[in-house]
Structures are given as structure tokens and as C-alpha cells.
A = this chain, B = another copy of it.
């Protein structure tokens, strides 16, 4: 049977408390402040369990590691090309899915990721570190 562990509880709490769409590495760093011996493999495994359970969602980002998001309702994301920050974007995702014509294929989900420059980076010329 499925078992409760301190690792699962901790990882779930970290993602649900985070507003910054953390990567697996970011969750790992936070988790190690509480459980210094936690393994990165455990973080990945538990994150995917949480996604599977519908508690969180995974946000794939082109060319960069996936982000994990406590906001599970359908919504879009914005990635800043300069600082790499990810944030939520208000958009009628259901409307987009309804507007799409995929022929006889059955659309089940959609990833919508906007790219651009956030207001903090606008005017700056720094690349992502």
C-alpha cells in the first residue's frame, strides 16, 4: 500500500507554499534545508506522484528544466527570456482548446507558454546568468 513519509509531506508543502514555479532543483534545495540527506531522485519521484495525483501540475519550458505549479486549474504561463522567471498568465485556455481544429484527433490537454521580456528586465541587456 502507499505510505506516508516525511519526504512526501515536505515536498508537497514546499510546492504548495511556493509562488515562484520552482524547478525540481529548486524544490531539492528547499527540501535540503529541512532534510539535508534527501535525494534528488526522491524529489523527482514525489513531484511526479503529486502531478499524477492532480495536486500540482508540471510546466514544461522549452530548453529549460520543467517548473512545478500549485495552481492546477487550466492557465497559461509566461517565461522571461532574460531572467528565466516563470509566471502565470490570465487566459481562457478552454476557449483556446475549443477554437483549435485538430481534425479527427482528440485534444486532451494543451501547454501554452508565452515568451518575452518581463518588466524587471525590460531595458536591461543582461542575459540569463
Residues of A within 8 A of B (CB): 58, 60, 62-63, 66, 76, 78, 80-81, 87, 89-92, 95-97, 99-119, 122
Tell me how many chains of this kind the complex includes: 2
A-B contact pairs, 8 of them (CB 8 A): A80-B105, A89-B102, A97-B114, A104-B118, A105-B117, A107-B115, A109-B114, A110-B112
A24 to chain B, nearest CB (A): 13
| CB <8 Å contact, A101 and B90 | yes
Contacts of A91 in B (CB 8 A): 96, 99-101
A83 to chain B, nearest CB (A): 11
Within the assembled complex, what's the spacing in Å between the Cα atoms of A108 and B79? 10
Scoring A104, A114, A119 by chain B CB atoms within 10 A of each residue's CB, the highest score goes to A114
